[in-house]
Amino acid sequence: MGTKTIWDGKDLPPIGCQVLINLSSVGMRPYEVTGYEVRRSVNEVQYPAWLYVVNIKVKSSDGKSTNERFLNEVFPLDWREN
């Protein structure tokens, strides 16, 4: 039995914490953060070459589904739409 880390929406969500992601078919669902991927921006014409994109890797609570989202597409568990 361990303690769960709750992400406050600042910086990067810690690996192992629960976050919400929006799935178009079912709406907001909790997923667990499993890692990060940092890579160069694909659109080098619009953005400078030094700009990198951070993707958050997540998995469903049953572990059957994995996903990868941009940082601005991942929300804290207490997030509510205005």
Per-residue pLDDT of the chain (82 residues; tens, 9 = 90+): 556 777 777 888 999 999 999 888 888 999 999 999 998 877 767 777 788 888 999 999 899 999 999 888 999 988 777 6
Burial per residue of 6-30, b for 16 or more beta-carbon CB atoms within 10 angstroms, e otherwise: ebeeeeebeeeebbbbeeeeeeebe
pTM for the model stands at 0.79
Q: Quick one: pLDDT at residue 3?
A: 65
Domain count, the chain: 1
Comparing C-alpha atoms, which of 64, 53, 63, 65 is closest to residue 23? 65
Residue 47 lies in a domain: yes
Range of the structural domain that residue 57 is part of: 18-75
Residue 71 lies in a domain: yes
